């Protein structure tokens, strides 16, 4: 056991969007922060979302006006602070009169437009679907509104990078084994998941931001402390060949009252989701079922001219949402809001329950407000105007032109992908590069050795899975042979 004489102010368990968001906010206010994640950043729920920054139009039916208002306001903040990984997207909602009357949808969209001040995005409008529509002929009219798309896993990584730049220590593959109170401090035992080596650290306050593992960690790591009950709900998505040529997404109403998104994804694909089913067991074991695939395929075929089958599914993923415990029988109607519980009996413990990607920043600010009783000299909020790493630009087209001018030898598709992943930090990747040969080996789909090295050195990527599915979505394009070669390069000596 290796002791550490440092006394941290805050140790955060969980490297998802909430843990990384709290780490960045706290470090930016001057706290000594240690963030620990037992696997990779965003390896759980935070990389298994529908990848939207949105107010949650359907939450209005559950009268969650405060949550929707807060999320809509955050939508504008995040579009401004991370314009490389968060972009506006139009959503078309075909009207199916036997499911919801037109007046109800119009009223909902009017409220959606009115709950928060719109700066970037246009108001909703009526639509007529013409002969060129990808929808079936019976769907002739509907509505259009605006929200935003996000690369969810990259959002988490950028938050961790921001936290590090503000002075936080970020440790991946580091499991919190036990936490005990000792003279008003937490004595925490950490274990390196790769080597098994253990270390003891001390911290003034502890944050449990482990998402669907929040109860499990509460019972196993923090015995004797209160653990709020959460309801685990599994949401699944499938990826299929592109269903329509346009850049708009679709929101499809289903007969069971739920809605399903069909979203343009990684240029050549469509992302379809999500399902909502109660889940028991270890969230790491969540998988999509044949019934859930059939559910998503069926609603797609009811609305789109291009029909698909389960055989068309190229990729799928399942995530478990830690929602607030509820007696509501319909999992899709359980609130996506969050609560924060601060225990001051002994060493301080803050526990995060619930939450959604769109409101991570406000959740982090609320966490700081709670922790002000522990750190009374804590400075005020700062993240509302703080660009995430690579997001310090205001005009995407202007940045693209600058990069094209400075690096004319870069293939347009590769430059576009780097712009969407790294923003202004594309220049860091291209430092001293004068031609494609300077980028090193191409492992496939435009993934070069220089980018892989950057992901290892700057973004905590260790494995093929980290690189192909969380730092990028190139796993959709890699062949088995290319995966094997990348894995060999990561594991072996570099040529």
Please report, in tens digits, the pLDDT of each residue of the chain (495 residues total).
666 778 999 999 999 999 999 999 999 999 999 999 999 999 999 999 999 999 988 888 888 899 899 999 999 999 999 999 999 999 999 999 888 889 999 999 999 999 988 888 999 999 999 999 999 999 999 999 999 999 999 999 999 999 999 999 999 999 999 999 999 999 999 999 999 999 999 999 999 999 999 999 988 888 766 666 788 999 999 999 999 999 999 999 998 989 999 999 999 999 999 999 999 999 999 999 999 999 999 999 999 999 999 999 999 999 999 887 665 555 555 566 889 999 988 899 999 998 899 999 999 999 999 999 999 999 999 999 999 999 999 999 999 999 999 999 999 999 999 999 999 999 999 999 999 999 999 999 999 999 999 999 999 999 999 999 999 999 999 999 999 999 999 998 655
Under a CB-based contact definition with an 8 Å cutoff, are residues 357 and 46 in contact?
yes
Full set of structural domains in the chain with CATH: 2-45+154-228+335-385 (3.50.50.60), 85-150+231-327 (3.30.9.10), 396-491 (1.10.8.870)
In our burial notation (b when 16+ CB lie closer than 10 A, e otherwise), range 456-472 reads eebbbbebbbbbbbbbb
Under a CB-based contact definition with an 8 Å cutoff, are residues 444 and 478 in contact?
yes
Residue ranges in 231-289 assigned as alpha helix (H): none
Identify the sign of the CA torsion 295, 299, 304, 307: positive
* Six-digit token string for 403: 């990069």
The single-letter DSSP state of residue 448 is: B
- Does this model's pTM top 0.85? My answer is yes
Q: Rounded CA gap, 50 and 267, in Å?
A: 16
Q: Rounded CA gap, 57 and 54, in Å?
A: 8
pLDDT of residue 118: 82
Q: Residue 490, class by beta-carbon neighbours within 10 Å (0-12 exposed, 13-18 middle, 19+ buried)? A: middle
Query: Do the strands 277-278 and 141-150 form a parallel or antiparallel pair, or are they unpaired?
Result: unpaired
**C-alpha angle 112/117/123, rounded to 5°?**
50
The single-letter DSSP state of residue 425 is: G
* Six-digit token string for 121: 């995005």
Q: Residue 227, class by beta-carbon neighbours within 10 Å (0-12 exposed, 13-18 middle, 19+ buried)? A: middle
pLDDT of residue 333: 55
pLDDT of residue 6: 86
How long a stretch of residues is the chain? Answer: 495
CB half-sphere exposure, 120, CA atoms < 13 A: 21
Under a CB-based contact definition with an 8 Å cutoff, are residues 157 and 113 in contact?
no
pLDDT of residue 331: 54
* Six-digit token string for 99: 């499911």
The single-letter DSSP state of residue 378 is: -
Reduced to 3 states (helix: H, G, I; strand: E, B; else coil), residue 353 is: strand
Reduced to 3 states (helix: H, G, I; strand: E, B; else coil), residue 234 is: strand
* Six-digit token string for 277: 């089913």
């Amino acid at each position: 056991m290796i002791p550490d004489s440092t006394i941290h102010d805050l140790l955060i368990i969980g490297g998802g969007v909430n843990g990384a968001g709290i780490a960045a906010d706290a470090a930016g206010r001057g706290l000594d922060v240690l963030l620990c994640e037992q696997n990779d950043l965003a390896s759980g729920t935070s990389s298994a979302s529908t990848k939207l920054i949105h107010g949650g139009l359907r939450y209005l039916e559950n009268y969650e006006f405060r949550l929707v208002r807060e999320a809509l306001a955050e939508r504008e903040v995040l579009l401004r602070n991370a314009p490389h990984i968060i972009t506006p997207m139009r959503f078309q909602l075909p009207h199916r009169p036997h499911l919801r009357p037109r007046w109800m949808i119009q009223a909902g969209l009017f409220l959606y437009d009115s709950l928060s001040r719109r700066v970037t995005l246009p108001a909703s409008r009526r639509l007529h679907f013409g002969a060129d529509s990808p929808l079936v002929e019976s769907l002739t009219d509907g509505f259009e509104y605006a929200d935003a798309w996000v690369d969810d896993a990259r959002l988490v990584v950028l938050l961790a990078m921001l936290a590090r730049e503000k002075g936080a220590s970020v440790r991946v593959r580091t499991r919190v084994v036990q936490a005990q109170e000792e003279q008003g401090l937490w004595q925490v035992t950490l274990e390196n998941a790769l080597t098994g080596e253990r270390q003891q650290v001390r911290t003034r306050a502890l944050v449990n931001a482990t998402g669907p593992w929040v109860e499990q960690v509460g019972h196993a790591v923090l015995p004797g402390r209160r653990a709020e009950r959460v309801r685990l709900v599994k949401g699944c998505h499938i990826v299929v060949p592109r269903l329509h040529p346009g850049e708009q997404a679709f929101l499809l109403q289903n007969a069971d009252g739920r809605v399903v998104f069909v979203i343009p994804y990684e240029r050549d694909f469509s992302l379809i989701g999500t399902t909502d089913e109660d889940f028991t067991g270890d969230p790491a074991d969540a998988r999509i079922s044949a019934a859930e695939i059939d559910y998503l395929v069926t609603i797609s075929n009811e609305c789109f001219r291009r029909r698909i089958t389960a055989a068309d599914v190229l990729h799928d993923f399942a995530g478990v949402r830690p929602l607030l415990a509820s007696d509501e029988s319909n999992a899709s109607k359980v609130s996506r809001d969050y609560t924060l519980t601060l225990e001051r009996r002994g060493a301080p413990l803050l526990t995060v329950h619930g939450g959604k990607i769109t409101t991570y920043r406000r959740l982090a600010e609320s966490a700081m407000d709670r922790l002000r009783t522990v750190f009374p000299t804590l400075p005020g909020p700062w993240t509302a105007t703080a660009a995430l790493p690579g997001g310090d630009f205001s005009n995407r087209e202007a940045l693209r032109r600058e990069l094209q001018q400075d690096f004319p030898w870069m293939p347009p598709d590769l430059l576009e992908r780097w712009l969407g992943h790294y923003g202004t930090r594309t220049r860091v990747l291209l430092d001293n590069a004068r031609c494609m040969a300077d980028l090193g080996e191409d492992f496939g789909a435009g993934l070069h050795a220089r980018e892989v090295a950057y992901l290892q050195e700057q973004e905590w990527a260790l494995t093929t899975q980290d690189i192909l599915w969380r730092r990028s979505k190139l796993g959709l394009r890699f062949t088995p042979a290319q995966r094997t070669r990348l894995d060999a390069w990561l594991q072996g000596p570099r040529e």
